[in-house]
Every structure is written in C-alpha cells, then in structure tokens.
Structure 1
Amino acid sequence: MFAKPFVTALSGHADGVYCMAKHPGRLDTLISGSGDGEVRLWSLSAQKAEWRTAAHRGIVNGVCAFPQLDRFISVGMDKTPVNTYVGRNAFSGVDHHRQNAVFATSGSQVDVWDVERSEPVTTFEWGADTVNTVKFNQTETNVLASCGSDRTVILYDLRSSTPLAKQIMQLRVNAIAWNPMEAFTFVAASEDHNCYMFDMRRLDNAVNIFKDHVSAV
C-alpha cells in the first residue's frame, strides 16, 4: 500500500525553474531560482511567493539556505552569488554546511567559503573540467561530495587539504543526495538513466542501483 503524496503547484517564474531548495529549519519555506535570474521564497501552505528579487543576470544554477542564519545564497552563470561573493568562473551549484556559517560552490573547482569573507577559505581541484554540483554530508558535516563533467564522483574533507577519494562512472553524474540518517550513504543520479547508491567508505561498487527512468536523471 502506498501513501498518497502531497502535491502542490507553484507557478510564476517567467522562464522556468532551474533549481529549488527547502529551508532546513522551516518546513513551510521553499526557495527557487529561474532561467531569467529571478529568485523566489515560497510559502508551501499559502502556495504563493512571499518574496522575490532579480538576483542574477542569467540562469540561477543553485540555491540554498543556512539553517542557523536568516539568509540564503544563490549562484548563477554571471559568477556572482548574492552579488557579494565573486568567483573566477561561473558557478554551477551551491550547498550549505549544516552547523557552521560555511558554504561550498562548484564550477571549475570546488570552493569553500566563510560567509564573512569575500574569498574562498579552501579550494579543491582534482582534474575535472567542470564540477556539476557539490553537496555537504548532513551527518558527517566536514565531508562533501561533488560530481564532474569527467564522469567522476569525488569526496572531500574540510579537515584535509586534498580530496579523499574518487570514483569514475560509466557516464556523467548530474546530481548527488546524501542520506540524512545514514552518515556514509549517498545516491548519484546518472546520465545512463539510473541512480546509484554508494557507501563512501567503499566507492568501487554501488550498494544498490535504482532503475526505471527512461532518460537521464
């Protein structure tokens, strides 16, 4: 028996939604970014946008909220997240640290930023032309993962100056999601129509493979 999902329709972006993120501390709040650079904060219960701004000159590639701060961050093709933190190249993704006022961005490399500083505090590079996305582990909060255009999934640790491990996939990985209850488990969404579950301690083989999509995930 399957539970009926909660479904709501949020509309209003003129040029399509390119990214979304839930607020980690507010069940009712959702953030979205569009193809024309607009960012909106939505109330799920009211099913309407409560705030909006023209944040970027171009596509918004990622949004995230800080659980401990009353602020959020967006990144886009114009290289300027929230018009405060300027990178050398376009940003493709962003994610927040669960406890500290720190966030990570992806692009030509993975940069880790302190919200109070205008330059990255740490930079990770390991061969990828473009890093598609970056995600913090929600339990082991010093660990983060990225996926790149060179078909790699790479793990990093903020306490180390070098990446932890790398796995090369058959095709490109487009997104990563950590299990919030199991510290070592994450799922990678692939161009080969499948999702792969990994244990970060043993990247050589997937723990499980989820099939049924008929196109890239």
Structure 2
Amino acid sequence: MAAVRKKKNFSLKVLSRNPDDYKRETKLDIHKAPQNPESYLHPFAVEREYKRALNATKLERVFAKPFLCGLEGHRDSIEALAKFPTRLSHVLSSASDGEIRLWDLTTKKCLSHVPAHDGVVHSLCAHRSGNFFLSCGQDTNIKLWACSEEGEINPEPVRTILNKYVYQSIDHHEKEDMFVACGQSLDLWVGDRAQPYQSYKWGLDSMHFVKFNRTETHLVAACADDRSIMLYDTRGGAGVSKLVMRLKSNAISWNPMQAFVFTAACDDYNLYTYDIRNLRMATNKHEDHIAAVMDVDYAPTGKEFATAGYDRAVRIFNHTDGHSRDVYHTKRMQRVNHIMWSMDNKYILSGSDEMNVRLWKARASEKLGVLKPREKTAINTAERLKRTFKDHPEIQRISRHRHLPRLIYHYKQEHQDIKESQKRKESNRRFHSKPGAVPHVPERKKQVVDVKE
C-alpha cells in the first residue's frame, strides 16, 4: 500500500514596489532616495544639522555684500528722499542746490531732473494718486509737480503756493486730497484752497518734521525744536497729546502694521519706540549709533526699520530688539541725512552729504533675481537651521560679527564704558542712601520729561 504523503502548507511572499517611489518624472529630475524618519536610525542627526547650520551661517557672512550702487548726479548734499505709493521702481531725491531728480531703480539711472526751488529743498512727498509730488523749499514756496508713468517731470509746476515763512517738512494724506506742512506752525491744506484749512500751534518753537499715520490716516505726528513730539487729529482743532523729551527728536516713523506705535530718532544717539496709549515710558530703546540719529523709516512689513546716523553709518533694527542686526558703511560715505525703505521690502536707499544716493540690499546676503524652487527650498531650510541653533556660542559669534570703521569701533567701546560707569555710580548711590531715597528709574523712562494732553 502506497504511503500517503501529507501536503505541507506553502506560502509565497511577493515584493511590491510602487514606481512612484523611485522613478523620476523626467530625465532632468534628480534620483529619488528612500528615507526612513525613525530616530534610532539617525543617531547623529542633531550633530549633522548643527554642522549644516554652522556652514550656512559662515556662508551668509561670506556673501554679505549689501552695497549695490550709487546714484550719482546731484551737485550738492542730499536733503530729502521720497517714494511713490503706487510705483516700485521710481524714487525722488532733492539737494541743497534746489534740484529734484527722479530715479529708476531697475536701470539705476536718472529719468528726469528739474530746478525746483531757489535754495535748499527741505522736504518731498508723493501725491496719493502717484502722478504728482509736492516739494517745499527755502524760498518759502510749496510746489505741486506732475510726473508721468514713464518718469518725466513737467518742467513747470502745476501749482505754486506762496507763504510768509519757510516750511521744513511736508507730507500727504494716504487717501484724501490733503497735506500738512510744518514750520512756525502745523498747517493743513485741503484741495485747491489758497489759505490753510486749519493751523495748529502748541508752544512757541517751530517744527521741523511731520508725518501722517498710514493706518489711522487722520493722525499726525510732528517734531518741534523744544524737544517735543506732538500728536494732532486733523478732524479737530487742537492737539491730542504732547511728549517732551530730554533731547530733540530729528524724525519719526509710524509702524505700518501697528497704528498706535511710532519710533523716534533722537539726538542722544538712540531711538525710542512709543505706544500712543501710554507715552510716559517708551516700549523699547534701540542703541548702537555713536552720534545723533538723523532719520528712521519702517519696512512695509512693520517688523524692521532702518536708521541714518550722523556717524556715517546705516543700521537696521528688528522692531523688538534693542540692538541693530546689521550695519552698512562705505569708505567715502559722509553724514547720512535720510533713509528710505523701498515698497517691495528688498532695498534701502540712503542720502548723505557727499552728493550721493546709495542703494543697499535690505538683507546683505540675499541672492537677487529669480530663484528656482530647489534654491528657495535650500534657502528656507538654511534659515530654519540658523534659527534653531542661533543661541549656540559659535553660531552666535559668527552671525553677530561685523567689520566696523575704526572711528565707530573705538567710540562704541568708549560709550559702553561710560554707560557702565553711570550704572555703577547710580548703584553705589542707591546702596549708600536711605531706602527709597534714590529710586530705580528704567532706561526707557529716563528720557521722558513730561506728557501733556
């Protein structure tokens, strides 16, 4: 009898691979590599990412070349800069000889120029429509100029307003046909009126800077020679509040994303950020300049602002930081009078005493031009790694290092010693006095003398 064979259980395992996981869509694509995100398979992931962050930080400093070009053509020191709200590539500049020039940033050339005033052109501002701009000069005139889309300035002004005294600054409303000019008083001009619609005066001293709020468009801030900053509402007949400081403020800039915040550039080498809801103490103090700060302008994002210094340097601050994140300078640059951030958030323009308008990159190591998707991904990955490891000592040292001119370097050390000496003296006085006799006053409050409402 034949033996009965038992059938054994048989199983067959088949390998299944999805072609989408390893095949390229075209021959130009890179080969796909399989990845396993399990942490136990990557024991040196943190060390590898730290090395990539360190290399990215070093490359950022290697490629940090912010200066792009100098817009040459003026025959005297630069007195004012202005940008159009509806144009990205056109900017205006004026000089002490009364000439106004219109520049095209794409070609880096002057499109047109006009002898606008007899003497210094104190201030410029663009009209809300974008086809006109206003200027005020030493000859006590306010002039309205027509400007075509191609950049041609009409040689004859559209309108001329004769005044009794000189206006130092001018600014146009964001939405309505009105503008303000300041000198011995703050005057509000509406439409085609031959006389000011409203005049404001708070104190005896004259004003030298005025700026509309870009969000709360009826709110105006002005800097006066009596060390005060005054807030006005154009819908009323009197001032809203007045802040008196220890030293004079040269310019202010409203934060475009926070309507109640502005930053003031002062003669005490610092900038102060205020909230108009509480002017008795600054919300932040921004240091690093070694001379008076002449001008300040916010980026369109509201997260950064650029400053122009008497110390022949341009600095860039994050709006929440007390120290600058970058400093720009050149060998031949003299006192920087004016600063302006472009509307596309990519460039910074500075005007200085040696008759030159300079064009800078807002981020010193940024690559200009069209970026491929792989380049954008690599840049975003490097930025994320740098933020992750920014507090490591080596990365922090490399990212903060800057080559400074000898004058700025030595004066910065001297100012640091002076500040430490003052703090030490105040601490000793408080220690050797009765409790409460020498109260502790925050640094952000020391410069405030009085607030009037």
Give 1:74's match in structure 2, choosing from 135, 145, 164.
135
In structure 2, list runs of 5 or more residues that go unmatched.
1-56, 144-158, 294-453
Q: Distance in 2 between matches of 1:71 and 1:5?
A: 31
Aligned counterpart for 2:79 among listed residues 13, 18, 24: 18
Matched, 1:56 2:117: yes
Select the structure that is richer in helix.
Answer: 2
**Which residue number in structure 2 is paired with residue 146 of structure 1?**
222
Residue number in structure 1 paired with 2:302: none
**Aligned equivalent of 1:176, options 252, 256, 266:** 252
Which is worse superposed, 112-121 or 136-145? 112-121
Q: 1:93 to 1:207 in 2, by over 3 A?
A: same
Q: Aligned letter for 1:51?
A: S
Q: Does 1:163 align with 2:239?
A: yes
- Give, in whole Å, the separation in 1 of the partners of 2:124 and 2:88: 16
Q: Aligned AA for 1:33?
A: S
- Cα deviation for residue 87 of structure 1 reads 2.2
Any conservation in 2 of the 1:155–1:165 contact (CA below 8 Å)? Answer: yes
- Residue 138 of structure 1 and its aligned partner are, at CA, apart by 0.3
After TM superposition, the structure 1 = structure 2 runs for residues 8-47 of structure 1, keeping only pairs within 5 Å, are 8-47=69-108
Q: Distance in 2 between matches of 1:196 and 1:55?
A: 35
The whole-number CA distance in structure 2 between the counterparts of 1:38 and 1:85 is 18
Percent same amino acid at aligned positions?
40
**Bigger relative contact order, structure 1 or 2 (CA pairs below 8 A, ≥6 apart):** 2
1:93 aligned onto 2:202? no
What residue is the counterpart of 2:35 in the other structure? none
> Given that residues 86 and 130 in structure 2 are in contact (C-alpha distance below 8 angstroms), is that contact kept between their aligned partners in structure 1?
no
* Greater Cα shift, 164-173 or 197-206: 197-206
Instruction: Identify the match of residue 272 of structure 2 among 196, 204, 211.
Output: 196
Q: What pairs with 1:117-128 in structure 2 (closer than 5 Å)?
A: 117-128=193-204
Shift of 1:67: 2.5
Partner of 2:208: 132
Q: Tell which structure's C-alpha radius of gyration is larger.
A: 2
Structure 1 residue 68, shift from structure 2 partner: 1.8
State the alpha-carbon separation in 2 of the partners of residues 17 and 5 from structure 1: 21
Indicate how the Cα distance of structure 1 residues 205 and 4 shifts in structure 2: closer, same or farther if over 3 A, else same. Answer: farther
SS of residue in 2 equivalent to 1:84: strand
Select the residue among 280, 286, 289 that pairs with 1:210: 286
What's the CA shift string for 1:70-102, capped at 9, x where partnerless? 100011111101161222211100111000111
Partner AA of 1:137 in structure 2: N
* Structure 2 counterpart of 1:171, one-letter code: L
Cα offset, 1:66, TM superposition: 1.2
Structure 1 unaligned segments of length 5 or more: list them: none
Deviations 1:151-172 (A, max 9, x none): 0000000111000000001100
* Alignment check: 8 A CA contact 2:84 2:130 kept: no
Q: Secondary structure in 2 aligned to 1:78?
A: coil
Deviates more, 1:147-156 or 1:87-96: 87-96
Question: CA offset at residue 106 of structure 1?
Answer: 1.0
CA distance in 1, matches of 2:267, 2:90: 30
Aligned length: 217
Contact 2:248 2:266 (C-alpha < 8 Å) held by counterparts: yes
TM-score by structure 2 length? 0.46
Per mean C-alpha deviation after superposition, the further-off stretch among 1-10 and 55-64 is 1-10
**Matched-pair contact (CA < 8 Å) for 1:74–1:94:** yes
Match of 2:27 in 1: none
Taking the aligned partners of 1:88 and 1:191, their CA distance within structure 2 comes to 29
Distance 1:138 1:111 in 2: 19
TM-score norm. by structure 1 comes to 0.95
Of 79-88 and 58-67, more deviation after overlay is shown by 79-88
4+ aligned runs moved over 3 Å, structure 1: 1-8
**Residue 186 of structure 2 aligns with which residue?**
110
Native 8 Å contact 2:85 2:130 kept in 1: no
2:87–2:130 contact (8 Å) kept in structure 1: no
Structure having the higher strand fraction is 1
Q: Decide whether the 8 Å contact of 1:128 with 1:149 is kept in 2.
A: no
Contact 1:62 1:93 in 2 (8 A): yes
The AA in structure 1 aligned to 2:116 is: A
Q: Does structure 1 conserve the Cα–Cα contact (< 8 Å) formed by 2:272 and 2:282?
A: yes
Q: What code does the residue aligned with 1:196 have?
A: Y
- SS in structure 2 opposite 1:85? strand
